[in-house]
């Protein structure tokens, strides 16, 4: 793996309205040693054509196409299998980065020697307007703390594979959350960079917006994937839900 190459992992499904902005935000980074793997998850719109056009003009962008719709977890897994970088950065197709995101976070990871880092960010409306309040993050999170926390925004996360070794996504609803837990389970600590470096687009139909369903899936993660007892799951869920309410109490 090239020592400083960052592999950007982007699943995309019916994202034609948004994916170009995500890609352009990576092209606008002041750190240029990256590859971006965009996985079209059998979209029914022009997502594939949009990505293909941008990839034709920039060899750092790679389009991967799924033959069947398998969901974001397996789209991320396809990108992971094709990635070459020491570092992995995750960017969802409807979000985007500010221009210093990669350079500042990479420097932070190298200074701290952490396996997993995350940054602060702001939500924006579906049309990309009206950045909301700053979503602050804790200095650090261990496995037990992360079980009760919603702090790691997927599109802010960066992983150093020279520390973690090879990674794989779990085919589950909250595959990103499960991946962070997998990384921290052995005693590692994730660290937060207190800089606003990402914009999270709030879409009414996105998978994370149905709070009842989301709550059920978090519970299933505790019980079926992490193997927690009923009472420990309840304790973790209380913390997770409380922090989620606090984080989303205002736009």
User: Residues of 35-67 as b/e, b for ≥16 C-beta within 10 angstroms?
Assistant: bbbbbbbbbeeebbebbeebbeeeeebbbbebe
Percent of the chain at pLDDT exceeding 90 = 89
* Beta partners for residue 11, in sequence order: 39
Q: How confident is the model at residue 3, as a pLDDT? A: 62
What local confidence, expressed as pLDDT, does residue 99 receive?
Answer: 98
Write the pLDDT tens digit of every residue in 115-157.
Answer: 999 999 999 999 999 899 999 999 999 999 999 999 999 999 9
Q: How far apart are CA 13 and CA 48, in angstroms?
A: 9
- Evaluate whether 57 touches 28 at the Cβ level (below 8 Å): no
**For the chain, which ranges sit under pLDDT 50?**
207
pTM for this prediction: 0.94
C-alpha to C-alpha distances, 146 to 57, 173, 181, 212, nearest whole angstrom: 40, 17, 7, 20
Residue 85 CB burial class (10 angstroms; 0-12, 13-18, ≥19): buried
pLDDT value of position 245: 86
Q: What are the structural domains of the chain? A: 6-205 (3.90.550.10)
Distance CA 92, CA 18 (A): 10
pLDDT of residue 248: 76
pLDDT at 2: 55
Contact of 16 with 46, CB cutoff 8 Å: yes
């Amino acid at each position: 793996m090239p020592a400083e190459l960052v592999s950007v992992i982007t699943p995309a499904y019916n994202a034609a309205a948004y994916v170009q902005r995500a890609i352009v935000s990576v092209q606008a980074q002041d750190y240029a040693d990256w590859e971006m793997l965009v996985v079209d998850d059998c979209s029914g719109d022009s997502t594939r054509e949009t990505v293909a056009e941008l990839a034709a003009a920039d060899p750092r962008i790679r389009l991967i196409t799924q033959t069947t719709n398998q969901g974001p977890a397996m789209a991320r897994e396809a990108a992971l299998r094709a990635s070459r970088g020491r570092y992995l950065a995750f960017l969802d197709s409807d979000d985007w980065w500010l221009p210093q995101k990669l350079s500042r976070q990479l420097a932070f990871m190298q200074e701290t020697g952490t396996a997993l880092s995350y940054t602060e960010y702001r939500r924006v409306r579906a049309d990309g307007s009206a950045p909301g309040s700053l979503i602050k993050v804790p200095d650090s999170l261990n496995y037990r703390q992360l079980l009760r926390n919603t702090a790691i925004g997927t599109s802010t996360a960066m992983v150093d594979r020279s520390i973690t070794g090879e990674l794989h996504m779990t085919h589950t609803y909250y595959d990103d959350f499960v991946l962070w837990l997998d990384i921290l389970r052995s005693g590692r600590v994730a660290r937060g960079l207190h800089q606003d470096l990402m914009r999270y687009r709030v879409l009414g139909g996105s998978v994370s917006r149905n709070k009842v369903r989301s709550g059920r899936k978090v519970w299933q993660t505790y019980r079926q994937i992490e193997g927690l007892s009923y009472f420990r799951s309840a304790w973790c869920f209380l913390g997770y839900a409380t922090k989620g309410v606090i984080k989303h109490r205002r736009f």
